[in-house]
Structure 1
Amino acid sequence: MATINFYLDKADKKGFSPIHLRINCGGKQIKISTGEKIMSKDFDKDKQLAKPSYEKSMELNHYLNYLKERADELFDNPSKKVYTNAEVKDILNGYISNFKEDNNVSIVKEQLALYGKPVTFIDLFAGAGGFSEGFLQAELNNKFYDFIVANDINENCELTHEVRYNHQLGLDAKFLCQDITEPDFLDNLLEKIDGKQVDVVCGGPPCQSFSLAGKRKKFDKKDDLFAHYLEVIKILQPKYFVMENVKGILTKEKGKIKEEILKEINSIVDIKEVPKLASFVKSLKKSKKNDEFILDCLVKRVNMEQFGDEKSEQAREEYIKYVESKFRQLTPKIVDYKTSKTDQRISTIRHGFNMLIRNKQWETLKRDIIKEKDFCNIDNDYFVNAFTEFLHELDSSEIIKKIEEAFNNLHVAKSYKAECDHIISALKIYTLNFDDSLEYIYKYCNKKQESELNKIIDDIRLYKIESPFVANASNYGVPQNRERVLFIGCRKDQKFISEVPRTVEEKDKVTVFEALYDLDFVGNDEEAHHYELVDISKQYNGTAKKMKSLLKTRTIDGKVNSKEGKSFADWSREGRLNGRFKNATAPFYVRNYEALRNGEKVFDILHNHKTSKQNENVLKRLDIILQEGDYKSAQCKLDECGLSSNKRNYNVLKPEKQSPTVMTIPDDYIHYNTPRALTVREMARLQSFDDSFVFQGKRSTGGNNRKTEVPQYTLVGNAVPPLMARAVAMEILKNIK
């Protein structure tokens, strides 16, 4: 057994004594300087800690306890090798130097341009920061990225961001922890941006947010996230924007969702060109006297595109009032006075206009109801249908349907039917996106006018996009077959980008073994705080030669380069930020914001490398599945041994291949060499995060907490792989003006 304590060395001229760590074991002694000093009056020799009266007692005592724990581990863990005195010193000095480094840094208030001009970007739905990480790795011809703002709704996302980008890298990147659907989100985002030009916006609205207008049946918090993402694009008008989503979005609702997304992107207009289109529509009235009302409505609809959020609401209200005034003029012609005051059909039309005029208020009410519905977990119960029906009825398109039904049931005389139809058409134009409203304009054009309109539309569309493309992360040096859809919007004054070329050929893709082999030194219910040497020859005996052949040297983007490259594991350990952040400090972990405020930081050499505690039966089950090669093949043997499980699937990692898509639940995967689940760090490797990127907060969560908490495993599983993001960022740097 080792005896571990702290003692004070001789005081300096100012009365401060260095604190030393002393270890006695087997008649030998190791002394290590902690790098900290304290006056003897502030140090409790019995408790081996700073007294509460000392100003920084909480932070210092956390550090001393942390060092003692790490020293204890080196001597008291029988499953590990016996360390020499020199190895003990090296390991502990690693922790100590990280702590000293952190205490000598201050957060930079402005990122200095090292060379050239930075390209600015913001990251929406940022999560852990996969997009952010990849963009900061990208450099080309004196161009690099300046990180301005990230956004997400969860505090642990913000904590992970702040520790990585503010404390560790010293950036002044802001974080907006707010729901994008909140009424003041845009104002708060613009305040964080602080007048800077934004060149690129990236982000991935969750796939649940895509639905066809008026056809939503579920109504949850994620319903309108895509629309709000595009609202940010409309306001900021970046040179490029990147939207990432799951591959299934291409076939959702038989491809209609994809087409709807492209229409919405095509509906973002160059505000300067709007008056030209409005003038063109006005000119159509000369030859279309009978359609003046509809053409006036189209002019008003076109002009709405010029306005920001507040003015747009005002313009929409004025639009409905204009259509309502047409109905008021028509009412005495189609019904008598008594009917106009008492008839249910007329009341439906009149009240429908009132509801449309108050659209903003209804939308606020809907958002609040949806929040409460989600908070109370209303789904698959007796309550859900009532909520769904009510929310569905508040949709503008549903209100207009009832107005149309009321008009049809009035059985208006033929001489006034056209005017009624015009009112219905005007209301439908109100609900259309800009791209669809153009179809109405084409109806009133001859061939010559069509040609003129085509030219105006080409000029007015702010972004060029033909179609999304499917990107497989493994094509960009990520050891994972993760297919994602990327929509890249290119502003009309920028070069068009239709896809991101692969950086790695099929035969050279990074394998699971390359990514994880050097981390394979932990067993069940163990946590590693520093790297251990992995001897492939000992671990794999007869197959060592085959396993070693899987290791390749590569450039940062995954290309095989035997002369100048590094292994994937080395890139992960040394980092991919290209030495750009020379003042970066050592990574650290904190459990929450309170710990960060109190200075309770953990300065391990290796972070997030802890295995789950699994019972004997689970370990036997995993071992059988591992030996059989996959879950399906193992079913009979599991049944025989009484180890069958209700779990839908286990993915056995194949060392010579890429992993399947990394999700948020570690128990879904079985390590290729040991019957256990993956650690956070191993999943992060499969996503291509550097080891210096520390995931903060809780490791995992369960049950209903999954709705609100974003622990480490969720941060990793939901992230965009940084190397794929880097490839996107590099393609933009190649083309951006």
Structure 2
Amino acid sequence: MATINFYLDKPDKKGFAPIHLRINCNGSQVKVSTGQKVEPKNFDKSKQKATGLTVESHEINHYLDFLRERADELLHHSNKKTFIQNEVKRILNEHIENYKENNYVNIVKEQVSLYGKPFTFVDLFAGAGGFSEGFLQAEYNNKYFDFVLANDINENCELTHVVRYNHQLGLDAEFLKQDITEPDFLDNLLKKINGRKIDVVCGGPPCQSFSLAGKRKKFDKKDDLFFHYLEVIKVLQPKYFVMENVKGILTKEKGKIKELVLKEINSIVDIKEIPQLILFINKIRKESNSFLCDALIKRVELEKLLEKDKEIGKADFINFVEKRFKKITPKIADYKTSKTDEKINTIRHGFNLLARAKEWDKLKRDIIKEKDFCNIDSDNFVDAFTDFLTEIGSENVIIKIENSFKSLKVPSNYKKDCDDIITALKIYTTSFDESIEILKSDCNAKMKRELETILESIRLYKIEQPFVANASNYGVPQNRERVLFIGCRKDQKFISEIPSTVSEEEKVTIFEALYDLDFIGNNQEAHRYEEIDISSQYNGVAKEMSKLLKKRKIDGKPILRGGKSFAEWSRKGRLIERFKPQTKPFYVRNTEGLENGEKFFDILNNHKTSNQNETVIERLGVILKNGDYKKAQPELKKLNLATNKRNYNVLKPDEQSSTIMTIADDYIHYNSPRSLTVREMARLQSFDDSFVFQGKRSTGGNNRKTEVPQYTLVGNAVPPLLARAVASEILKNIK
């Protein structure tokens, strides 16, 4: 058993003594200089710690703890049992040099354009930063991307962003940790952007947020995130936007959701063209229903307003329609009835509810947050909450107003006036496109052609159909299908798909991605790379395994000369030259650790296996031997190793993995009965090894609702190489 301690050497002329690390083992001794100095009076020899409450002493003690941990790990917890002195020195000096290189972090205040043309981008629902990472890897004809801001609601997403982009890469990219549905979100976003024009917005609102208006059966925090995402697009009006989602969105509610998404995108208008449409409506007004035309003009004018002014505009619209109702009330009901009748009161009070939509929306958000906090779901409370939240929605209020009108005995000569009020209220809640459909009903053939010409110029974005992208077509060793909605501003070149970078035969295999990390066993953590001997590790099939390794370009395309293997690219990093790291990668446990300088500068990060018991290891071994969970079921039952777990994915070295999710225990390594490390899952997602996932490794139970640990950051991310392909295609076409 080795003993590890620190001691002080003789002080220098300034009175500072170097701190040395000393290891004693079986009569042999290894001494290594830590590179740190301290005044002897400020060092407690018995505790082997720097004394005092200064930031400097805190950082020195964290560094000494780090070295002690790495020495202990090397001598007592590695696979190798015998070391020569020089080998121990060399390995510890690697850790020390790595740490010394990163003693000072320079956060650049501005992303200086050395050459070429920068285009700005914002990453919403950013998570770990898969989109951001891919966009910073893209370059075309000296055009590249300048990272302005990322947004998410979780603290660990922010921590991972700040460490990667602000500290490690030295960029001035902002992070907005706020729920996109909050009333002041857009104001805060614009404040952080600080007047800069945004060329591209990317992000993937969670699929739960897509629902058909008026048919929501579930209210949770994700409700309506898509519509809020589009509000950001309306305000920033980028040249392109990319919205990523799961493939299931195409068939959700029999394809109606996909059509809703396209309709809403087509409803984003170029506010400079609105006067032209208003002119057209006024022309129809002379020959048509002036009240509905006025309502349409008010609805169209809402598109010009910023979010903070929209509430006043909406209230003004409701007041306009209510005036119409007040005018005809004496003609459809006598005085007594107009004051006491339940139906008239429903209409009157309905206008009150609609006019205070802002206040009701705030209440709705607060209730949804409380409902989510109290885990109200699949119980006897949920229906009451859902019913109430449905009742206060504008669509439901208008349905009640409409039913009340229908129940009234309205004289026939005033029925049209009542119908117009209902139509005007529906105009209030519909998309721009649906409002125009109402306008078309008053147009003859010639007018419809004129209107179509106006609509061509007023629609800000061109989009036909979403594009299904499989990550494996872009050099990612994973069959992960995602849907991309690519909105192209009308003054930009149209993009309908992202060309593949590799053919079916050229796809990156799991073995290419993970083979050089295969030196770790159950319940182990590695902080440096070790040599892999394929011939001894794969006795009998070494030639076949070696053949899987190919030299490639960054995008995965095989190349005969000058390329690197996927693993080599992962180690070297794929960022373009201008985003060279200012510091080596480091890990922190939390935000407080970052503030206190408790950084772990390791050569390899996030490479730790789970502590699985003997029964689990035996079960995984049986499944691995059979190559498939279902095929292994009879043998598992026979050996009393059966489990209720729904599925295990056995990785095949010569194939691509299935979609990487957020739970590592769902996967079995192709060469040993164990689950995957965060780093291995990150490799399958195409993250560089220099991208360090911060905070906790994993979490469980109800914590999964609020915490985003490393495995979740990885599993939920957009694969950077897929994002790189998207960014490259945009750079090829952007004006």
Q: Same fold (TM over 0.5)?
A: yes
Distance in 1, Cα, partners of 2:403 & 2:512: 65
1:378 alignment partner, SS class: coil
Q: Which residue of 1 aligns with 2:397?
A: 399
1:667 counterpart = 2:665: yes
Q: Does the 8 A contact of 1:130 with 1:719 survive in 2?
A: yes
- Name the amino acid aligned to 2:209: S
Cα deviation for residue 18 of structure 1 reads 2.0
Distance in 2, Cα, partners of 1:665 & 1:8: 46
Cα deviation for residue 137 of structure 1 reads 0.7
1:244 alignment partner, SS class: strand
Q: Does the 8 A contact of 1:98 with 1:585 survive in 2?
A: no
Distance in 2, Cα, partners of 1:631 & 1:48: 52
Distance in 1, Cα, partners of 2:667 & 2:42: 50
Q: Percent identity?
A: 71
Distance in 1, Cα, partners of 2:410 & 2:501: 66
Q: Which residue of 1 aligns with 2:87?
A: 87
Q: Which residue of 2 aligns with 1:102?
A: 102
Cα deviation for residue 53 of structure 1 reads 5.3
Q: Does the 8 A contact of 2:106 with 2:582 survive in 1?
A: no
Q: Which segment is superposed worse, 66-75 or 223-232?
A: 66-75
Q: Which residue of 2 aligns with 1:40?
A: 40
Q: Which residue of 2 aligns with 1:603?
A: 601
Q: Which segment is superposed worse, 655-664 or 25-34?
A: 25-34
Alignment of 1:82-481 (within 5 A): 82-288=82-288, 291-481=289-479
1:499 counterpart = 2:497: yes
1:541 alignment partner, SS class: coil
Cα deviation for residue 580 of structure 1 reads 2.6
Q: Does the 8 A contact of 1:697 with 1:712 survive in 2?
A: yes
Q: Which segment is superposed worse, 269-278 or 42-51?
A: 42-51
1:103 alignment partner, SS class: coil
> 1:122-159 deviations in whole A, cap 9, x for unaligned?
11000000000000111111111111111000000000
Gaps of 5+ in 2: none
- Name the amino acid aligned to 1:230: L
Q: Does the 8 A contact of 2:181 with 2:225 survive in 1?
A: yes
> 1:436-473 deviations in whole A, cap 9, x for unaligned?
11111111111111111111101111111111010000
Cα deviation for residue 627 of structure 1 reads 0.6
Distance in 1, Cα, partners of 2:170 & 2:239: 26
> 1:79-120 deviations in whole A, cap 9, x for unaligned?
325333333223222221222222133211111112122111
- Name the amino acid aligned to 2:185: F
Q: Which residue of 2 aligns with 1:537?
A: 535
Q: Does the 8 A contact of 2:480 with 2:660 survive in 1?
A: yes
Cα deviation for residue 184 of structure 1 reads 0.8
Q: Which segment is superposed worse, 125-134 or 86-95?
A: 86-95
Cα deviation for residue 22 of structure 1 reads 2.4
Q: Does the 8 A contact of 1:212 with 1:257 survive in 2?
A: yes
2:214 alignment partner, SS class: coil
Distance in 2, Cα, partners of 1:297 & 1:691: 57
Distance in 2, Cα, partners of 1:417 & 1:481: 59
1:706 counterpart = 2:704: yes
Distance in 2, Cα, partners of 1:510 & 1:279: 57
Cα deviation for residue 27 of structure 1 reads 4.1
- Name the amino acid aligned to 1:168: Q
- Name the amino acid aligned to 2:564: K
Q: Which residue of 2 aligns with 1:21?
A: 21
> 1:371-394 deviations in whole A, cap 9, x for unaligned?
100010001111110000000111
Q: Which segment is superposed worse, 590-599 or 706-715?
A: 590-599
Q: Which segment is superposed worse, 29-38 or 407-416?
A: 29-38
Distance in 2, Cα, partners of 1:52 & 1:623: 52
Distance in 2, Cα, partners of 1:85 & 1:570: 30
Q: Which segment is superposed worse, 52-61 or 551-560?
A: 52-61
For residue 621 of structure 1, the aligned residue among 610, 619, 622 is 619
How high is the TM-score relative to the length of structure 2? 0.99
1:330 alignment partner, SS class: helix
Cα deviation for residue 395 of structure 1 reads 1.2
Cα deviation for residue 160 of structure 1 reads 0.5
Q: Does the 8 A contact of 2:315 with 2:355 survive in 1?
A: yes
For residue 734 of structure 1, the aligned residue among 724, 729, 732 is 732
Distance in 2, Cα, partners of 1:81 & 1:65: 23
> 1:626-646 deviations in whole A, cap 9, x for unaligned?
111111101111111111111
Cα deviation for residue 359 of structure 1 reads 0.8
Q: Which residue of 2 aligns with 1:516?
A: 514
Q: Does the 8 A contact of 1:35 with 1:100 survive in 2?
A: yes
Q: Which segment is superposed worse, 33-42 or 223-232?
A: 33-42
Distance in 1, Cα, partners of 2:140 & 2:686: 20
1:306 alignment partner, SS class: coil
Distance in 2, Cα, partners of 1:588 & 1:651: 31
Q: Which segment is superposed worse, 267-276 or 89-98?
A: 89-98
- Name the amino acid aligned to 1:148: V
Distance in 1, Cα, partners of 2:78 & 2:164: 34
Cα deviation for residue 26 of structure 1 reads 4.2
Q: Which residue of 1 aligns with 2:57?
A: 57
Distance in 1, Cα, partners of 2:101 & 2:374: 46
How high is the TM-score relative to the length of structure 1? 0.98
Cα deviation for residue 309 of structure 1 reads 1.0
Q: Which segment is superposed worse, 698-707 or 307-316?
A: 307-316
Distance in 2, Cα, partners of 1:615 & 1:571: 35
Q: Does the 8 A contact of 1:42 with 1:54 survive in 2?
A: no
Alpha-carbon distance change, 53 to 597 in structure 1, aligned in 2, over 3 angstroms: closer
Distance in 2, Cα, partners of 1:388 & 1:320: 26
> 1:586-628 deviations in whole A, cap 9, x for unaligned?
1111111111111111111111111101111111111111111
Distance in 2, Cα, partners of 1:82 & 1:571: 32
Distance in 2, Cα, partners of 1:658 & 1:726: 19
Gaps of 5+ in 1: none
- Name the amino acid aligned to 1:362: W
For residue 490 of structure 1, the aligned residue among 488, 506, 513 is 488
Distance in 1, Cα, partners of 2:19 & 2:578: 35
> 1:232-267 deviations in whole A, cap 9, x for unaligned?
111111111110000000000000000100111111
- Name the amino acid aligned to 2:331: K
For residue 581 of structure 1, the aligned residue among 579, 587, 591 is 579
Cα deviation for residue 30 of structure 1 reads 2.8
Q: Which residue of 1 aligns with 2:644?
A: 646
- Name the amino acid aligned to 2:184: D
Cα deviation for residue 187 of structure 1 reads 0.8
How many residues are aligned here? 735
Q: Does the 8 A contact of 2:332 with 2:409 survive in 1?
A: no
Distance in 1, Cα, partners of 2:83 & 2:537: 20
Q: Does the 8 A contact of 1:74 with 1:83 survive in 2?
A: no
> 1:6-57 deviations in whole A, cap 9, x for unaligned?
2223333222222222233344433322121111111122222211255522
Distance in 2, Cα, partners of 1:380 & 1:527: 40
Q: Which residue of 2 aligns with 1:724?
A: 722
2:109 alignment partner, SS class: coil
Q: Does the 8 A contact of 1:42 with 1:53 survive in 2?
A: no
Distance in 2, Cα, partners of 1:48 & 1:192: 45
